[in-house]
Amino acid sequence: MKYQLELNGISKSFGPVQANNGISFAIKPGSIHALLGENGAGKSTLVKIIYGSVGPDEGSMKWYGDSFSPNNPFEAREKGVAMVFQHFSLFESLTVAENIVLGLDDVGLNDSIVNKIEKYSIQYGLSINPHQVVGDLSVGQRQRVEIVRCLMQNPKLLIMDEPTSVLTPNEVTDLFVTLRKLAEDGCAILYISHKLEEVRQICKHATILREGKLIKNCNPQEHSKDEIAEMMIGKKIIKLTRKNIKHGEEIFSINNLNLSSEDMFGVNLHDINLSVRKGSIIGIAGVAGNGQDELMRMLIGEDRAPHSTLIFKGKDISKLNSHQRRQLSMFFVPEERLGHGAVPNMGLDENMLLSRPSSSRMTRNHIIDWNQVRRLAKDVIETFNVLTPSVSAEAQSLSGGNLQKFMVGRELIQSPELLIIAQPTWGVDPGSANKIHQALTDLADQGSSILIISQDLDEILSLCEQVHVINNGKLSPSVDMESNGLETISQLMLGASIQ
Amino acid sequence: MIRLQTRTNNSNAMVFLSPILALTLTALSTFFIFFLAGVDGFGAFYVLFIEPLSTKYNFSEMLVKAAPLMMIALGLSVGFRAGVWNIGAEGQYTVGAIVGGAVGLYFYEVEGFWVLPLMSLAAIVGGMLYAGIAAFLRTKFQVNEILVTLMLTYVAILLLSAMVHGPLRDPDGFNFPESRLFHDSATLPIIWEGTRVHIGLALAVIFSFLTYFWIKKHISGVQINISGSAPRAAKFAGFDENKAVWTSLLISGGLAGLAGLLEAAGPVGQLVPHLPTGYGFTAIIVAFLARLNPLGIIFSSLLIALTYIGGENAQITYDLPSSITSIFQGMLLFYFLACDVMIRHKIIFSFSKNINHE
């Protein structure tokens, strides 16, 4: 049989970095084929080669039996390659139909286009209204617009880059229905994702890359999630288990916190209440932009909270700044790494000073003890396996996963009684993510409390004993996971009223 | 095709080579400009860069000019690290001279070791208060400090003029807009016999070292750096953003004020309307030539002082316009900044036709 796309020995290097090294695999027509690998494994380079924006150094490709070497994305699209990017490129002030026409190479806006949009949206269960303005759409709906835009080109191969990272569980289910229908109609799909559970659900073929090399072509449904993860990172995955769940008395509470945001695009927080007990891990789930940033700023102390809304160890900390809160053993890891949790152009040692409670002995009477600073930095680097040339390497020279390990480690070596962490593993490869999750459960086992704010529902479900959902600035009561918990969370994420 | 590629690590070699390269390029460009102007290049070069270093008078005058530049640039470098752009050091310099000078004139003919310290203190406070206006407006109302400090410069210069035309005018001065000459107790001690080199130079060098250690060792010095590079990270660390604004404006205002007094009570010896000659602006160049390093400022202020003396000599010997000094200073800054790009980047010459954009 003929393959839709065949890759033979593709190699590509950028300077000293070998991004792809002799990669071969083939995608059958009408199949959903997963491309798996950690960050930096060479997935994006490979996709760029297929999409024509980068040329390979070596190797060749075949498109339904014919030689295929697109010089630019335009040529690739002509052949029938389409791509839905992780970050959408839509104009918010234009309608769905206008956006779709803009993405096409040579058509104007007319009724037949609108009809075509409606036809596809019915055929593939992509319910969108062509006349609606994109700015009013949810993230999931925007993704449908991107998919319809691709379908207009009658693609033979649809590339999807991390399509579910921004979706709620129900939206994911809908997307899978669409993808299966597309595949049945003969369109091959190259599906890039970190979420192995999803890959095992919808893909019958998978290509696993590691450090630019092909590790295996296999059927992911014949392997367990852990086996696949181990192939991706080349190491054993350690199972997450809490050895010692013991909930003590309340250590931290948020009481009737209200805040109207000063930022015109900000979210107002409404009447937020939360109680954290010693030794517990609590998760706040929710789609991005529902008040997580505002809440986090308040919790860190970057914005002052209203009087007596935040109580830590019986003390009102609402008006304390982050340094004063750290003195009480409350520590933080913000979502953004460069420019927030770390100063990009400063060394790791200097970055240690962002979190410097007196107990760390990094400063004495405001005078910095650089030997102590470097000693602690080394400690963090060794304990958390941060890959860096030296303690004085600039934060921006580290990869995302390594910098995240450093930032988490920097707070953890202070043995926090309460750790508040946003997006602990955002953009972090599975190996590092596993290490960070392990460190968090270990901390809680020792009796400390952790509050996790994350969009990654899998992460929250695997770590937290108590889950809340934030939607439009309101925090739900804790969700009872025993009775249909996942369904309740999905409803709450989409803004269902809180019972 | 030539392109810049970011280095993975800063090049230590380029940290040292870049100033040398910049000086060489400045020299070559100077040569070219003289050639265009039809002036003997080697001769002019000698007059500009060698002669100021070869006689005691020229050398000492260079030191006299370096002192206020060093002092002002030190203060500015602190602010620039914090991302606080005090462009009006000239104004704070002028106010420092007025306030400090007024104290000296108030105690006219009073002898005492305390007169000069009191004048200096008054000048520092004057400069601080003047810069404090910008700090207040920025922290309270988010008013841009660049505009405030720059505009207040013109106010200060007019204030000086009003003062020497009015209350501070020399009663026996035939209505000339000048103050009395400061008496001995209000005049700076000379530290090099037979020249005008005064104690201000020694002070400036001491301050350079103090600032260096403050920035390296004290947590508030580190705060200044973090606030400038990543304001959100500074908040995350629990640093008060307003404190960084106040600290850097008060330090730069105080040092500029002191520099103003040192000039008035030193080489000039009285308050005159033309006391501000642009040191406050030139110090910006001095600070950046030193890459905002307090110890580097000792050298960069000497270099810029050299261009002043050399430029004056060139005007006399070769009948060149006075803007020759500004041309050098501009070229120096241009080449220094351009060459510093090489610390973080390397230049790649590639002649392959395969232009794959990544």
Q: What is the pLDDT of residues A155-197, one digit of tens each?
A: 999 999 878 766 777 788 888 998 999 999 999 999 988 778 8
Is B319 a domain residue? no
pLDDT-based confidence at residue A112 (cuts at 50, 70, 90): confident
Q: Decide if pLDDT at A266 tops 80.
A: no
Rounded CA-CA distance A449/A280 in Å is 5
The residue length of chain A stands at: 499
Q: A137 CA to chain B: closest CA distance, Å?
A: 31
Q: Does B242 touch chain A (CB under 8 A)?
A: no
Q: Does A388 touch chain B (CB under 8 A)?
A: no
Q: Which residues contact B94 (CB under 8 A, 6 or more apart)?
A: B153, B156, B157, B159, B160, B260, B275, B276
Q: Decide if pLDDT at A499 tops 60.
A: no
End-to-end CA distance of chain A: 56
Query: What backbone phi and psi angles, to 5 degrees, belong to A374?
Result: -70, -35
Task: Say if the Cβ atoms of B229 and A345 lie within 8 Å.
Answer: yes
In chain A, residues with a C-beta closer than 8 Å to the C-beta of B232 are: 302, 336, 339-340
Q: B227 CA to chain A: closest CA distance, Å?
A: 10
Residues 40-99 in A contacting B (C-alpha not used; CB under 8 Å) = 48, 53-55
Q: Does A494 touch chain B (CB under 8 A)?
A: no
pLDDT per position as a tens digit, B13-44: 888 888 889 888 988 888 888 888 787 878 88
Is B13 a domain residue? no
* Candidate from A346, A356, A366 with C-beta closest to B218: A366
Is B141 a domain residue? yes
pLDDT at B265: 93
Q: Where exactly are the structural domains of chain A?
A: 5-233, 250-493
* Candidate from B217, B240, B356 with C-beta closest to A368: B217
What integer is the mean pLDDT of B143-161? 96
Under a CB-based contact definition with an 8 Å cutoff, are residues A436 and A402 in contact?
no
Report which of B67, B76, B135, B143 is spatially closest to residue B284, judged by C-alpha positions. B76
Q: Which residues contact B265 (CB under 8 A, 6 or more apart)?
A: B100, B101, B104, B116, B119, B182, B186, B187, B188
The tokens for B118 are 């009191």
Q: Decide if pLDDT at B357 tops 50.
A: no
Tell me the whole-structure pTM to 2 decimals: 0.76
* Candidate from A342, A346, A366 with C-beta closest to B219: A366
Q: Decide if pLDDT at B355 tops 70.
A: no
Instruction: Give the CA distances from residue A129 to residues A66, A121, A146, A175, A177, in Å, rounded to whole numbers and listed in that order.
Output: 39, 9, 13, 17, 19
Q: Which residues contact B16 (CB under 8 A, 6 or more apart)?
A: none
* Candidate from B9, B233, B240 with C-beta closest to A342: B233
The reply to whether domains A5-233 and A250-493 share a CATH topology is yes
Q: To 5 degrees, how large is the angle CA A485–CA A486–CA A489?
A: 85
Q: Is A399 helix (H, G, I), strand (E, B) or coil?
A: coil
The tokens for B27 are 């020299």
Helix (H) or strand (E) holding A451: strand A449-453
In chain A, residues with a C-beta closer than 8 Å to the C-beta of B229 are: 343-346
Which phi-psi region, left, alpha or beta, contains residue A235 (left: φ > 0; alpha: ψ -120 to 50)?
Answer: beta
Is B114 a domain residue? yes
pLDDT per position as a tens digit, A462-486: 889 899 999 888 999 888 777 777 8
The tokens for A318 are 């609402």
Helix (H) or strand (E) holding A410: helix A400-412
As separate numbers, helices (DSSP H) first and strands (DSSP E) second, chain B gives 14, 2
Q: What is the CA radius of gyration of chain A?
A: 24
Q: Is A8 helix (H, G, I), strand (E, B) or coil?
A: strand
Local structure of residue A436 (DSSP, 8 states) = H
Is B19 a domain residue? no
Return the percentage of chain B with pLDDT > 70, whole number: 97
Strand A363-364 and strand A367-368: the pairing is: antiparallel
b/e sequence A354-388, b meaning 16+ C-beta within 10 Å: bbbbeebebbeeeebeeeebbebbeebbeebebeb
- Share the mean pLDDT of chain A: 87
Q: Decide if pLDDT at B150 tops 80.
A: yes
Rounded CA-CA distance A293/A296 in Å is 5
pLDDT per position as a tens digit, A409-447: 999 999 999 999 999 987 777 778 888 999 999 999 999
Rounded CA-CA distance A451/A330 in Å is 11
- Share the mean pLDDT of chain B: 89
Rounded CA-CA distance A155/B175 in Å is 90
Q: Does B140 touch chain A (CB under 8 A)?
A: no
Task: Say if the Cβ atoms of B229 and A346 lie within 8 Å.
Answer: yes
What integer is the mean pLDDT of B2-10? 72
Q: Which residues contact A260 (CB under 8 A, 6 or more apart)?
A: A268
Strand A363-364 and strand A213-218: the pairing is: unpaired
User: For chain B, how many structural domains are there in total?
Assistant: 1
* Candidate from B220, B236, B239 with C-beta closest to A334: B236
Rounded CA-CA distance A70/A40 in Å is 24
Determine how many CB atoms are found less than 10 A away from the CB of residue A64.
15
pLDDT at B358: 37
Is B249 a domain residue? yes
Determine how many CB atoms are found less than 10 A away from the CB of residue A494.
16
* Candidate from A48, A324, A343 with C-beta closest to B238: A324
Rounded CA-CA distance A196/A199 in Å is 5
Q: What is the CA radius of gyration of chain B?
A: 22
Report which of A274, A325, A229, A277 is spatially closest to residue A453, judged by C-alpha positions. A274
Q: To 5 degrees, how large is the angle CA A98–CA A99–CA A102?
A: 85
pLDDT at B142: 92
Q: Does B319 touch chain A (CB under 8 A)?
A: no
Q: Decide if pLDDT at B356 tops 60.
A: no
Q: Please give the CATH number for the structural domain made up of A250-493.
A: 3.40.50.300
Q: Which residues contact A105 (CB under 8 A, 6 or more apart)?
A: A74, A77
DSSP H stretches of helix in A166-280 = 169-184, 196-202, 225-233
Q: A239 CA to chain B: closest CA distance, Å?
A: 33
pLDDT at B40: 80
Query: What backbone phi and psi angles, to 5 degrees, belong to A329?
Result: 80, 40
Is B22 a domain residue? no
* DSSP symbols for A52-63: TSS--SEEEEEE
pLDDT at B96: 97
b/e sequence A164-178, b meaning 16+ C-beta within 10 Å: bebbbbebbebbbeb
Under a CB-based contact definition with an 8 Å cutoff, are residues A9 and A24 in contact?
yes
Q: Does B229 touch chain A (CB under 8 A)?
A: yes
As separate numbers, helices (DSSP H) first and strands (DSSP E) second, chain A gives 16, 22
Q: Residue A199, Cα to own-chain centre: how many angstroms?
A: 16
In chain B, residues with a C-beta closer than 8 Å to the C-beta of A397 are: 8-9
Is B223 a domain residue? yes
What integer is the mean pLDDT of B146-167? 95
Under a CB-based contact definition with an 8 Å cutoff, are residues B277 and B64 in contact?
no
What integer is the mean pLDDT of B119-124? 97
The tokens for B20 are 């040398």
Under a CB-based contact definition with an 8 Å cutoff, are residues B113 and B180 in contact?
no
Task: Say if the Cβ atoms of A332 and B236 lie within 8 Å.
Answer: yes
pLDDT at A240: 66
Q: What are the strands, taking DSSP E only, across A81-229?
A: 81-84, 157-161, 188-192, 205-210, 213-218
Under a CB-based contact definition with an 8 Å cutoff, are residues A322 and B237 in contact?
yes
Q: Does A327 touch chain B (CB under 8 A)?
A: no
pLDDT per position as a tens digit, A219-245: 988 988 888 888 887 777 666 677 777
Q: Which residues contact B316 (CB under 8 A, 6 or more apart)?
A: none
The tokens for A482 are 């025993």
pLDDT per position as a tens digit, B49-108: 888 888 899 999 999 999 999 999 999 999 999 999 999 999 999 999 999 999 999 999
* DSSP symbols for A270-319: EEEEEEEETT-EEEEE--TTSSHHHHHHHHHTSSPPPTTSEEETTEE-TT
Rounded CA-CA distance B201/B297 in Å is 13
pLDDT per position as a tens digit, B289-316: 998 999 999 999 999 999 889 888 888 8
pLDDT at A166: 66
Q: How many CB pairs under 8 A join A and B?
A: 82
pLDDT at A497: 62
pLDDT at A327: 94
In chain A, residues with a C-beta closer than 8 Å to the C-beta of B356 are: 53-55
What is the residue range of B210's domain? 63-288
pLDDT at A381: 93
Q: A364 CA to chain B: closest CA distance, Å?
A: 9
Q: Give domain A5-233's CATH superfamily.
A: P-loop containing nucleotide triphosphate hydrolases (3.40.50.300)
Rounded CA-CA distance A135/A14 in Å is 38
Directed axis angle between helix B56-81 and helix B279-289, to 10°? 80
Q: What are the strands, taking DSSP E only, across A307-387?
A: 310-312, 315-316, 330-333, 363-364, 367-368
The Cα diameter of chain B in Å comes to 81
